[in-house]
Amino acid sequence: MLLVTFIFTEQFDRNLDLEAVEEGAIRNFLEISHSFLDALTNHMQPIGAAFFVYTFILIALRLLGNKSRRLIDMLAIFLTSCWIVELVIINLLLIAPIKSPVLLIIELLLFIPIILICFSWWYWRINHGRSSKNLSPAIAVTDGPGALEYFFFAAEVCFDYSQDSCKTSIAKMVRLLNGFVVLDIFGLTLSRAVDLAVR
């Protein structure tokens, strides 16, 4: 699931064509953010290469039957840092003077799966951490929820924001952040993309 997030993250970075953004301070910030994200995800860069090696080690450990929970958590934290940079980029594109709406629409379409999968993983991790300590679930999804149930739980915040299913403060904070990001993406960025497209 985390590797699917990485594939979209890499494509988000590769498709970020800053030639479609007019010169100015916002474009300069976008170039800095783009360079930082490229350093994290490009296998030709030192950090990106280390990430690829780390990921292959994790895959090998999993195939050998090692759970490697803490190592996978480190991978998720790394991918979350990439996700935060992408959120910054999306918001910069929101206010940037863009020559073509295509850039914003493509980046938006690539970012939506990233945020949904990322929040799905964090919901699952919160519940999994509590179940390993024999505590009641922090998020009441279904009995024995799988990846798909957590994905739908992350996606349904688009239509019905409610914290009734969240039983702990951490779960409520993650749900609040989930709602904020969805509002930012669908309420602001999508409306800006549509506005640019109809001009």
Q: Which residues of 123-153 are buried (b: 16+ CB within 10 A; e: fewer)?
A: bbbbbeebeeeeeebbbebeeebeeebbbeb
pLDDT of residue 19: 85
Q: Could you tell me the pTM of the whole model?
A: 0.83
CA distance 171 to 165: 9
Q: Which residues of 176-195 are buried (b: 16+ CB within 10 A; e: fewer)?
A: eebeebbebbeeebeebbee
Tell me how crowded residue 40 is: count the other CB atoms within 10 A of its CB: 20
What is the block-wise mean pLDDT of the chain (199 residues), using blocks of 10 residues?
Answer: 80 85 88 90 87 87 82 87 89 81 81 88 86 81 76 80 79 88 78 68
